[in-house]
Each structure stands twice: as structure tokens, then as C-alpha cells.
């Protein structure tokens, strides 16, 4: 056996590199550019491995451990942005080790070399905001006009910790601390977003495995909702009154 590979993160038990055996948290992200190319902008990689004369593997060191589920989701976004190999974004991936030889194009043999760029470590939230999300599949437009009540996203955010707003051409989007953060591996508070499309549709998404399948329907059930109304009392001449109507969990 001439080609050599290594696991891009640690595993809990030896001899088993299935995704289910991955350690729960990791301190870095990875990308196999394949025939693509990562943009020459931040967040620039911390390390670059030249797997052949024309191919590269990129790594980003993080300032703090993140859940493996969040890392895999972010790897997919990095690969999509770079038009790289999305298949290598997963927790079972292995990549070529620097200092070894690549015999894939035998009789031509490539030396696998690498370099540290001096970039990073990166805050996970910085990368989350810098890397574009993967576009959702387009849905057929509604054939009938929406005649339901107008609902504002902000009325659901009073009891949610909002980390920041993200630019989104499809509507409003915020990064938030997940209501189920206590279920995340290591209490990781990254990787959760909520938003409202221009057509009024509300949505929720969390990258963590414990939150898979949870949508806006589940999110709105666990957060309190506020509405404000002005009170107009006959004969009252004092300052205007604003009533906070709170819908409990």
C-alpha cells in the first residue's frame, strides 16, 4: 500500500472510522477543493495541503470546540462555496497526509506537501456569518393569495438570545441561541438560525443532530410570543398606554 491517508479528526474507538464513532466536538474545519477553488477572501484557511500539483485540501482552526454536527454542516457550506467535494465534508472523511506520496496519477507521482498560512484561529460565529448558506430547493409559488393574519418574526424573539443579523436576499435572518441548546453536545450555542421570507413565511433551522427535524412549528411552541396594542380608555387623559400581550409557552 503506497497511498496514505489520515482521519481529519479523532475517533472514540480505534479501528472504526464510521461517522457515528466521531468524537462529539472538533476544533477545526476541512475542505477538499477537488476541481473547485476557495475564494481568496476571509475566512482564509489556517493550513493548506497540496495533495497534487493542481489539488488542495484546506483546514480552518477554530478558537473553541464545536459540535461535530455543526462542523459537518459548515464543511458542506464551505465545499459548496468553493465548488469542491461535498462528499468529503462528513465525519467519516480521510484526506492525504503531508509528507506522503500521491500515486493516483501513476506513473506520475506527486509529493503531498503543506504550509501554514498564519491565518486564524477563527471564531465559529465569524465563519458562520461569512460563509454563504446552501440555497434551499425552490418551491412552486402559491397559486392562491395568502389571507391569514400578518405575523412578525420579532414578536417571537423577546425570550430568545439573538447573536446577530445575517444578510439574506430572501428576507430577514438572525443567528440565535437555540432554545434546545442544553441538548447540544458541549452546550454549543452556534449553528442556529431563524428568519422570515419576504412573503411572510417564518422558518427555523439548527445544525445540531439533536435538533434535526425541528422546524418553525416546534420553535414557536417553546418560545413566548409578544404582541403590543395601544389602550384607548374613554375619558382617560394621561400618557398613551401600550399593552404587552404575551402568549405563554
Q: Say how far apart CA 6 and CA 27 lie, in whole Å.
A: 16
Same domain, 118 and 10: yes
Examine the fold and report which residue of 130, 161, 195 is the final residue of a domain before the chain moves on: 130
Q: Is residue 166 part of a domain?
A: yes
Same domain, 18 and 114: yes
Q: Which domain covers residue 35, as residue numbers?
A: 5-130
Q: Is residue 114 part of a domain?
A: yes
The pLDDT of residue 50: 96
Q: Which of 5, 12, 43, 233 is nearest to 132 (CA)?
A: 43
Contact 23, 10 (CB under 8 A): yes
Q: Is residue 191 part of a domain?
A: yes
Q: What is the pLDDT of residues 191-229, one digit of tens each?
A: 888 988 888 888 998 887 678 778 888 998 888 765 555
Same domain, 180 and 233: yes
- Any idea how long the chain is? 249
Give buried/exposed letters for 127-144 (b at 16+ CB in 10 A, else e).
Answer: bbeebebeeeeeeeeeee
Examine the fold and report which residue of 77, 97, 130 is the final residue of a domain before the chain moves on: 130
Same domain, 35 and 126: yes
Question: pTM score, two decimals?
Answer: 0.62
The pLDDT of residue 231: 59
Contact 127, 77 (CB under 8 A): no
First to last CA, the chain: 60
Task: Return the CATH number at 74.
Answer: 3.30.70.1790
Same domain, 13 and 126: yes
Q: What is the pLDDT of residues 80-90, one digit of tens each?
A: 999 999 889 99
Q: What is the pLDDT of residues 91-141, one digit of tens each?
A: 988 999 999 999 888 888 999 999 999 998 999 999 998 999 886 544 444
Q: Is residue 146 part of a domain?
A: no
Q: Is residue 50 part of a domain?
A: yes
Amino acid at each position: 500500500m503506497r497511498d496514505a491517508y489520515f482521519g481529519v479528526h479523532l475517533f472514540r474507538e480505534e479501528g472504526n472510522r464510521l461517522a457515528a464513532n466521531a468524537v462529539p466536538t472538533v476544533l477545526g474545519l476541512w475542505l477538499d477543493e477537488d476541481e473547485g477553488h476557495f475564494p481568496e477572501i476571509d475566512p482564509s484557511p489556517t493550513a493548506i495541503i497540496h495533495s497534487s500539483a493542481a489539488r488542495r485540501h484546506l483546514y480552518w482552526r477554530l478558537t473553541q470546540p464545536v459540535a461535530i454536527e455543526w462542523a459537518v454542516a459548515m464543511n458542506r457550506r464551505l465545499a459548496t462555496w468553493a465548488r469542491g467535494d461535498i462528499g468529503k465534508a462528513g465525519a467519516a472523511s480521510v484526506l492525504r497526509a503531508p509528507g506522503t506520496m500521491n500515486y493516483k496519477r501513476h506513473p506520475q507521482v506527486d509529493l503531498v506537501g503543506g504550509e501554514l498560512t498564519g491565518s486564524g484561529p477563527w471564531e465559529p460565529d465569524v465563519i458562520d456569518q461569512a460563509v454563504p448558506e446552501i440555497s434551499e430547493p425552490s418551491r412552486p409559488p402559491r397559486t392562491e393569495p395568502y389571507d391569514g393574519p400578518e405575523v412578525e418574526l420579532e414578536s417571537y424573539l423577546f425570550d430568545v438570545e439573538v447573536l446577530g443579523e445575517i444578510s439574506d436576499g430572501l428576507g430577514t435572518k438572525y443567528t440565535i441561541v437555540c432554545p434546545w441548546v442544553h441538548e447540544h453536545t458541549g452546550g454549543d450555542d452556534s449553528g442556529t438560525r431563524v428568519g422570515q421570507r419576504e412573503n411572510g413565511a417564518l422558518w427555523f433551522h439548527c445544525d445540531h443532530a439533536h435538533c434535526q427535524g425541528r422546524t418553525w412549528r416546534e420553535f414557536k411552541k417553546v418560545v413566548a410570543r409578544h404582541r403590543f396594542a395601544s389602550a384607548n380608555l374613554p375619558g382617560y387623559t394621561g400618557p398613551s398606554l401600550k399593552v404587552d400581550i404575551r402568549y405563554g409557552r
